[in-house]
Structure 1
Amino acid sequence: MKTYLPQIERRILVRPNQTFGILNFDIDNAYPQRMLELVAASPTAKDCWNKRAKFIAGVGFEEAKLGKQIINSKGLTLAKLLKAVATDKALFTGFGIHVNYNANFKICTVNYVKFEDIRMGDTDNVDTADKYAVYNDWGRKTWKHISRSKVIFFDRYNPDPEVIKQQVSAAGGWEQYKGQLFYFNPQIDDYPLIEADSVWEDFETEAGIKAFNNREVTTGFLPSTMLFMPARREEADNSGGVGESNNSPSQLEKDLGTFQGAKSAQKIIVIEYEDEKSKPEFQPYSIQNNDKLFESTERSVEARIIKGFSVPKELVNPEKSSGLSNGGEKKEAIREFNDNTAPDRAEITEVLEELFSHYHKPLNPSGNWNIVPVPANVAEDSIGVKAGSAINQLLLAQLPAESKIATLIHAYGFKQAEAKAMVQGLI
């Protein structure tokens, strides 16, 4: 028996591309590029992406000097590499790192590769199986056609000297060898969806609301109006070619065009007419009031995007959350998001540890590749600063200790033991 669910569709279609010997990343081979454009057009999605990237990268490595280590001839440091792969992982859930070897089969150079530029080789193609294709314009934003000669294939990462020997021999020597690509992908022989793929339609919706608001502003919030006027008689225009008519706009049409817009909303337009029959008639027509509808849609879309990225709402819209005066809710949100992104940091740590264990010189003798999470510190928040100043004034005030403790508990949300310890610490 077969089961068919017509309401459920695959988010991406992965099919072989015989022209380039790769597996297409969706039907147009441009899923990552489309998602990047949608995220860029959605303020909430862009903010959530940045928040995830920040928390995945944390505040850097536990080994303070590790981030300053340079890992290629272009000056790329480990700190910059960490930030780059964290940014890709925050959205695409994967990342790519290119490595090349010296004659001793040790990694001598490491480069970051944009995740959206990577395509998997076709497993049924003998020439491209176990390889990855890298090209910087799969979405055809710069060129209409993909240049086959500019698509670079890299071997799959494998530090085994015997494997490297075979790859070097197949490439025609060390001078022709292009190295290997470590492609971190949470899927197995498939492309991953972006972190918030389940709500990408909401990215588009929010972008549409933004465009609507901009259109309202640029037209000066003018009501929808129909203009009735006598039909214009086409006049001869000797400057045109044979058979061409003069369809240039009248002066009235030009004046009405300049009359619209946010900067022209207060202007006065004067219209002259010869008789009542030629008098233009402006007739407004009512349309549905979209203000409340757009407002509720915007709130629901924003909430779904935040949920899609699994970001605590207190970190995206702190002004809309209730928030304790001492920043307690934000601190808890930071702890929660640190827990949420802990697996991402662990995966990056494991990858870097693996790659640099084969590096030609020791970069990290301690072997500690751990990433420090974002500290739960809201001292830089304006709310936190104001609360801290007010609490200090309260503690220094000439009030009974019981009154200070009660104020700390009921006004600032401290627990009984915390408030008592703060007050007794100044006695």
Structure 2
Amino acid sequence: MTDALLLTFVFLVAGVISVPIASRLGLGSVLGYLLAGIIISPLLSLFDVNIVSIQHFAELGVVLMLFLVGLELNPKKLWALKSKLFGLGGGQVVLTALLIMAAGMLLEQEWRTSLAIGLILALSSTAIVIQTLTEKGLMKSDGGQSSFAVLLAQDIVVIPMLAFIPLLATPELITALSHSSDVAQAGNHSDSVSLVAGLEAWQTALVTIGAIAVVILSGRFLVTPIFRFIAVAQLRELFIAAALMFVIGTTLLMSLVGLSPALGTFLAGVVLANSPYRHELESDIAPFKGLLLGLFFMTVGAGINFSLLFSHFPSILGLTLGLIMVKATTLFILGRIFSIRGSNKWLFALGLAQAGEFGFVLLSFTVSNAVISQEVADILLLVVALSMLLTPMLFILYDRVIAPRYATDQTVGTQDDMPDDNKIIIADLWTNGQHHRQPFTIGRLSLDRD
């Protein structure tokens, strides 16, 4: 109990101190959390803390974030993104994977290993990108919507990746892995539970489709009656518990059938986008999302292997910068092809130029399936972490260098431009429970019937 409290206190102190400082310096909260993790990493090593297990728990923050994003998108809006989802997102994954595969082969990696590396590094960080775009108010921009479409396409692509990567196993690594597993199996057993373990392909497909159907039907027919029943008690904590129950239950179901939990909860959010309790779900889950995302970013910073980093610093830094340049160039070209204009194409290219948090999972998956050696995977883990660490710097570059150059192209409307039939919203101001009698004008807004 004491150890858990001490560990919780350390993470909270690190976040509370570093994030406001980083925000004041214009670095953003994500970089603040990453730096906080780096600062406390020696202390965590002293306490012999298992960073990986904490990171797996903190990934629930990514799941909650995508659920909230899904709540903002009804099926009609999602369908409007189909061209960007399949064309832009699919094109990004294929082109980036092929370019990185070619680079890996030039570095004398076997083609199957190079292809696996390309697929893994083609993914971007959903957590960092969406969190940063939301903080900066860029989520609704063309660059933000295009970035979201690509991230969603990447989450979808992860599913066939998990089925395809084991086919890239190399004979040498298979022999080495079987020998090491025979040695390590003395007294070890796996306690993971799966609904698709040992099933044939068609049976797995049926179970997967059934799980998706359960999520859709539950969101459509069960959630609203459950919340209506809970509303009778008039206890806010029950609403919070029910919201978390639904999201965690969806995450668990997706994990049991081998699907991406983030993708499953996003689908659940889309199903509930038209629910009368959408705003309650959003307000109840948002604080947990923020705390868990902060914890996730701190574990990324704390998980950096500095001894390996410093011993191979020039090569790891070169690989990281090379990855960012390859992805940014590919994204920039695709942005021009898909008519992303002005500063938005730079936002799109720079924002998605890093590797993603799912790379940690996939690298471990490739090692266990004899696709990538442990030595190569350790270096790639540092490349993934370092690219995520540099991402806030890319957003700062966009904010301070690129966006101002396009500012003159932005037309900012004034009150004189507004039609006379626009509505005026008047609201009373409440501060600390006291009513200010003088009303104030929020602004003149055109009300949308939708």
Establish whether TM, by shorter chain, passes 0.5.
no
Greater relative CO, 1 or 2 (CA 8 Å, sep 6+): 2
Q: Which is higher, the Rg of structure 1 or of structure 2? A: 1
Q: TM-score, normalised by structure 2?
A: 0.24
TM-score (norm. length: structure 1): 0.25
